Homo-oligomer: A and B are copies of this chain.
């Protein structure tokens, strides 16, 4: 059973993803902003993530490379709008293989009393750009990453006790 909900309505340039994690809000926020934690879940189980830059502040840039099992490398980059906090992370997102196609990603972290609901809204410049991302097997990647993140959060809490 997957607890990750992905909503991508037809003819609408948005992707909305929600997922609950069994971890407190501050820890989930750390997993979304600290490079040494991000590398453990961002690419799902099959990709090796190398973070080149992750400057978590207003106007800070980020860039990482994802290497798949066959050795192919994919680059991703963006900037942070406003200072990231557990209330919200607002950032741009661009896959370097499709230069100029940029989305605006907003992450919010809702405290459910020890658990956390993460909601992300990605807004695209057109429905076509959104559809292209969905076709590029976004869904599998999202579910794999969320599963990895759940594992990372579980391990962090075990080691903290």
Contact = CB atoms under 8 A, between A and B. Distances in A.
Interface stretch (A42-50, A86-94, A131-139, A150-158): A86-94
A121 B102 CA distance: 11
Contacts of A65: none
Interface in A50-105: 55, 58-61, 78-82, 88, 90, 92, 94, 100, 102-104
Given A79-B58, A125-B104, A90 B92 contact: yes
A106 interface: yes
Interface in A114-149: 121, 123-126
Contacts of A102: 81-82, 90, 104, 106
Interface residues of A, number: 28
A81 B100 CA distance: 10
Contact of A106 (B90, B121, B125): B125
A133 B81 CA distance: 19
A28 interface: no
Contact of A79 (B12, B59, B100): B59
A115 B89 CA distance: 40
Contacts of A123: 13, 103-104, 123-125
Interface of A: 11-14, 55, 58-61, 78-82, 88, 90, 92, 94, 100, 102-104, 106, 121, 123-126
24 contacts: A12-B12, A12-B13, A13-B14, A13-B123, A14-B125, A58-B79, A59-B61, A59-B79, A78-B81, A79-B79, A79-B80, A79-B92, A81-B92, A88-B100, A90-B92, A90-B100, A90-B102, A102-B104, A103-B123, A104-B104, A106-B125, A121-B125, A123-B124, A123-B125
